[in-house]
Structure 1
Amino acid sequence: MKNHFKIIVLVLSISMFISCDGFQAVDGMIIGSETHLPISNVVIKELKKGDTLATTDEQGYFEINQIKGFPIGEKELTIIVSKKEYIQDTITFINNESKLIKLTLSKNKP
């Protein structure tokens, strides 16, 4: 009987652990690679889903806070940063990471 109780407790504990959601927070600043000045209105999308997660402010800053399905799931977030006249870039963040991202002007300016 004690063994059955231990097994039930173990199964319930594992189920709760697997179904837990984790809070993911990343942030960064986007600047021009040539000018080193902040770039506003850069669109940040999630690579896998294509959802828009954020847009940079006047200082080139963005912040993403979301609920993700981990601790067993992915703790990384891969984003696409894009703005007209700049070359799109793909960046991978680890939870709670901050990055400085440099975008390069496209040679084919409209």
Structure 2
Amino acid sequence: MNTFLNPFHLMKRIMLIVTLLLIVSCDGYQSICGLVIDSETKTPIEKAIIKTINPKFKAYSDKNGYFEFHNVTGFIFSDNDLTVVISKVNYINDTLNIKNGDSKLVKLIKTE
């Protein structure tokens, strides 16, 4: 009997292909957190808007200036940074690249 058509070998090949497809299609999750403060007064900035660029997620800083993102989708084998834009009325926007699992202190500068 031909080894290629042997049911045992055929099943092994199918299982290998299915396993590889599952691994390649897996989607990992990233999380980041940070603190937004006024660059001059060092006081927390509440309700600053924090947006990720790709994929698009949005959060707001709390009364203590704290923000966090959990379950931001990203490829499981990727260690790509998340690009975030922090904005607040009367402040200059700031754009940062944050690595998965990192936390950042963001100092926004007030506009004149």
TM bucket by the smaller chain? 0.7 to 0.9
1:60 aligns with 2:70: no
Unaligned residue ranges in structure 2 (runs of 5+): 1-5
State the 1:74 CA deviation: 5.7
State the 1:63 CA deviation: 0.8
Q: Which stretch shows the higher mean deviation, 74-83 or 94-103? A: 74-83
Q: How many residues align?
A: 106
Pair member with larger Rg: 2
Residues 1:94 and 1:57: Cα distance change in structure 2 (over 3 Å)? same
Query: Is the Cα–Cα contact under 8 Å of residues 30 and 72 in structure 2 kept in the other structure?
Result: yes
Q: CA RMSD in A?
A: 2.0
TM-score norm. by structure 1 comes to 0.82
Query: Is the Cα–Cα contact under 8 Å of residues 47 and 63 in structure 2 kept in the other structure?
Result: yes
In structure 1, which of residues 100, 106, 109 is the aligned counterpart of residue 111 of structure 2? 106
> Equivalent pairs: percent with the same residue?
37
1:90 aligns with 2:95: yes
Query: Is the Cα–Cα contact under 8 Å of residues 80 and 88 in structure 1 kept in the other structure?
Result: yes
Residues 1:28 and 1:67: Cα distance change in structure 2 (over 3 Å)? closer
State the 1:55 CA deviation: 0.1
Which aligned segments of 4 or more residues in structure 1 are displaced greater than 4 angstroms?
A: 1-6
Query: Is the Cα–Cα contact under 8 Å of residues 38 and 59 in structure 1 kept in the other structure?
Result: yes
Query: Is the Cα–Cα contact under 8 Å of residues 20 and 70 in structure 1 kept in the other structure?
Result: yes
TM-score norm. by structure 2 comes to 0.80
Query: Is the Cα–Cα contact under 8 Å of residues 29 and 76 in structure 2 kept in the other structure?
Result: no
1:47 aligns with 2:53: yes
Q: How far, CA to CA, are the matches of 1:7 and 1:69 in structure 2?
A: 29
**Secondary structure of the corresponding residue to residue 91 of structure 1:** strand
State the 1:75 CA deviation: 3.7
1:16 aligns with 2:5: no
